[in-house]
């Protein structure tokens, strides 16, 4: 088993608690499902949001999923002019026997524009 990072991103419909938690839960579940990751294999999760999302900590969604013993951290992304607004990103560190090439990064909603190279793998 190796420790590997799995990335994902999505956009959030509104800067409110419900929208942030919904988008975070959706993205967390999509990352887990796409990579067949079990909760016990998750070492830590780093959540970032663009500065326009500040109504709730995305990590709360993981806590609501029962992740009480997983290290979670939230931060804001750099405010780069012209960057995708209302964006939530996740970097999940997992213990896995998969190679880096076998892991699937997950981009949902408006965040699909961030990685068009991954969208062509359909």
Catalytic residues: 7, 63, 74, 77, 89, 107, 115
Which residue pairs from 38-43 have beta carbons closer than 8 angstroms and sit at least 24 positions apart in sequence?
A: 39/65, 39/66, 39/67, 39/70, 41/94, 41/95, 41/96, 42/67, 42/70, 42/92, 42/93, 42/94, 43/3, 43/70, 43/71, 43/93, 43/94, 43/95
Residue 70 sits at φ, ψ, to 5 deg, of -100, 135
Q: What does the alpha-carbon distance between residue 40 and residue 59 come to, in Å, rounded to a whole number? A: 17
Alpha helix ranges (H) inside 39-113: 59-64
């Amino acid at each position: 088993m190796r420790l590997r990072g799995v990335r994902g991103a999505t956009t959030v419909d509104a800067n409110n608690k419900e929208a942030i938690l919904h988008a975070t839960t959706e993205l967390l579940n999509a990352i887990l499902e796409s990579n067949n990751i079990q909760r016990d294999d998750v070492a830590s999760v780093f959540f970032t949001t663009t500065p326009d999302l500040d109504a709730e900590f995305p990590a709360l969604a993981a806590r609501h999923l029962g992740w009480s013993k997983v290290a979670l951290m939230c931060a804001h992304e750099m405010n780069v002019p012209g960057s995708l607004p209302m964006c939530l990103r996740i970097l999940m560190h997992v213990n896995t026997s998969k190679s880096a090439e076998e892991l699937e990064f997950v981009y949902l909603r408006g965040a699909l524009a961030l990685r068009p190279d991954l969208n062509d793998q359909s």
